[in-house]
Amino acid sequence: MSELRYQRCINPDCGATFGVGESHFACPKCGDLLDVCYDWDRLEVPDSLSWFGKRWATRNNPLDFSGVWRFRELLPFCGDEHRVTVGEGQTILQRNDEVAKYVGSNAGRVHLEYEGCNPSGSFKDNGMTAAFSHAMMVGAKHCACASTGNTSASVALYAHACGMKCTVFIGSGRIAFGKLSQALDYGAQTIQIVGDFDDCMRRVKEVCKDLGLYLVNSLNPFRLEGQKTIMYRILEGLGWQVPDWIVVPGGNLGNSSAFGKAFYELKQLGLIDRIPRLAVINATGANTLYDLYEKKGLRFVADRIDGKEVDAYYGRLNETGYRPHTVATAIEISRPVNLTKCLRALAICDGVVREVSDEDIIDAKAVVGRYGLGCEPASAASIAGLKLLRTEGVIGADETVACVLTGHQLKDPKVTVDYHMEKGREFSNKPVEVANDIEQIIRVMKG
């Protein structure tokens, strides 16, 4: 009898399978990405999503409290004895009519999924709780990642929760201070190399191979299993109704890949009757997905993409010495590791990709700050992208949209303060300097 749960290479010419007790960061046969697969017919899955609502009554059990593990029947790759939790996934889906007005949607149609409410302040915790559960299952002792910041913060937090050693690689100078402070505070061995995220990614793969470390980048298919739950919580926040659109920033494309898998599986299991459309938003300064999908028309067809097109694109990036650059450092990535899986998700969800400028990102960020709970720059790309798609008429004013706000406002305070200090920004809110004198203070306050 075949395995209930296994890993499978996504390359249809290979299709090699591996047990969930193994850890690979690429297919050992062909080097492609791996998926976590389940034999759903032989696993126990609730027959409606609302069934998961009963877990709220037993939330004194840490696994039922976790916004990831209370959906554990939908990511059943390990047993409770290996599941690690630090209380991730206590997120808020906020209906925000002011943001709706800003993007040109009707009231009641725009919802913000605040992933900044996670323990380390970003959505990454959804993935790490799953990856570290797998790491515990395989007995890993030392893990490593490359990071633009939030991955390192989350890895450091989970590694110390598991008593595991961890090394994080970050590109020098391109990390927001809030994120760096977390990695240091949580005790990660932090290696800054001269280079950007893509350089770090290459190096970390080498050291993981050489030293046998457990890799926790989103190449790790178990991480993506945890990130599926962001979609479950959006459905839950909408009373188990499927929105018309999900909008998410795209960096390494782990989230978008996980979201496509989540909806594909839910549909397959009969737990939803339709799949929402997906909009992935790049920054103009790191727009590989946009170029390949929208400009070059690259598609996931018959279980594959045209690898030659991708190689040629990366070849040009190498030749020109291209370096991605955006204020949204969390998505400053030009060689997204999950490209193929993301293109698959775009096929599943009839998706679109857009690019937005740094100017549009920081304005959108200020709007989320003023009318919502705030977010970091990369997260606001989703709002800027929604605004663009509304202007184009691709998304209708009356369509229901959930934007994923991937990271907390305090991750990158410098961008926020710089924005408000600058005169002439649409939403800037500059502090007023006044002498230490009551009359002058009152005069200023009265305007």
Ligand X SMILES: *Cc1c(COP(=O)(O)O)cnc(C)c1O
At closest approach, how far in Å is the CB of 347 from Zn ion?
A: 20
For residue 24, what is the DSSP state? Answer: -
122, 182, 229, 409: which one binds ligand X (CB under 6 A): 122
At closest approach, how far in Å is the CB of 64 from ligand X?
A: 26
6, 7, 9, 285: which one binds Zn ion (CB under 5 A): 9
171, 251, 276, 324: which one binds ligand X (CB under 6 A): 251
Say whether residue 369 binds ligand X (CB under 6 A): no
Say whether residue 406 binds ligand X (CB under 6 A): yes
Could you tell me if 183 and 190 are in contact, meaning their C-beta atoms sit under 8 angstroms apart?
yes
Residues 53-112 close enough to bind ligand X by CB under 6 A: none
Residues in the chain: 447
Could you tell me if 9 and 32 are in contact, meaning their C-beta atoms sit under 8 angstroms apart?
yes
In 80-123, which residue ranges form alpha helices assigned H by DSSP?
Answer: 97-103
Calculate the CA dihedral of residues 108, 112, 118, 124 and round it to 10 degrees.
140
At closest approach, how far in Å is the CB of 75 from Zn ion?
A: 22
Find tokens 């009265």 and name the residue: 446
Find tokens 């402070």 and name the residue: 181
Report the relative pairing of strands 5-9 and 17-19 from DSSP bridges. antiparallel
66, 190, 252, 282: which one binds ligand X (CB under 6 A): 252
Could you tell me if 84 and 133 are in contact, meaning their C-beta atoms sit under 8 angstroms apart?
yes
Say whether residue 215 binds ligand X (CB under 6 A): no
> Amino acid identity of 7?
Q
Ranges of beta strands (E only) in 91-222 are: 92-95, 110-114, 142-147, 165-171, 189-193, 214-215
Q: Please choose, out of 64-72, 208-216, 237-245, 251-259, the segment that lies near ligand X by the rule CB under 6 A.
A: 251-259
Residues 23-62 close enough to bind Zn ion by CB under 5 A: 27, 29-30, 32
Say whether residue 361 binds ligand X (CB under 6 A): no
Say whether residue 159 binds ligand X (CB under 6 A): no
What b/e readout covers 276-292, taking b as 16+ CB neighbours within 10 angstroms? bbbbbbbbbbbbbbbbb
Residues 177-236 close enough to bind Zn ion by CB under 5 A: none
Could you tell me if 145 and 152 are in contact, meaning their C-beta atoms sit under 8 angstroms apart?
yes
Q: Please choose, out of 1-9, 195-203, 246-254, 427-435, the segment that lies near ligand X by the rule CB under 6 A.
A: 246-254
Size of the site for ligand X (CB under 6 A): 18
CB atoms within 10 A of CB 243: 21
- Looking at beta carbons only, is 271 or 381 nearer to ligand X? 381
At closest approach, how far in Å is the CB of 431 from ligand X?
A: 26
At closest approach, how far in Å is the CB of 378 from ligand X?
A: 4
Q: Which stretches of the chain bind ligand X, using CB under 6 A?
A: 122, 124, 150, 218, 249-255, 330-331, 376, 378-379, 406-407
Q: Which stretches of the chain bind Zn ion, using CB under 5 A?
A: 9, 11, 14, 16, 27, 29-30, 32
